[in-house]
Amino acid sequence: MKYLLLKNAFDSGIDNVFFHVDNLNLHSQRAMQKLGANLVHHNKWNRMRPDGSIRETREYLITRASWKEVEVTLISRLESD
């Protein structure tokens, strides 16, 4: 799904795609790093979770310039599955 989302975004002329990940969601953070996204903000937004704790959001970025490298990674992973 990420491949289709990113391909469509960059084919449509978008220059930057941002992903917002909860600081406690280590699985998604590792996935973003493995994908080749760059962490641009550690604690950009603080929001209250339903349980009253504070959510800190990490922002990851894939740029048009980095898309080709990310695309190769994603296609390789799709072909190996």
Residue at token pair 């990113």 = 6
Report the alpha-carbon distance of residue 3 to residue 40 in Å, rounded.
21
Q: Which amino acid is at 66?
A: S
pLDDT band at 11 (very low <50, low <70, confident <90, very high): very high
pLDDT band at 1 (very low <50, low <70, confident <90, very high): confident
Report the alpha-carbon distance of residue 60 to residue 37 in Å, rounded.
6
Q: Residue 6: enclosing H or E segment and its boundaries?
A: helix 2-11
Tens of pLDDT, residues 50-76: 999 888 899 999 999 999 999 999 999
Tens of pLDDT, residues 13-26: 999 999 999 989 99
Residue at token pair 């994603």 = 74
pTM: 0.84
What does DSSP assign to residue 52? Answer: S
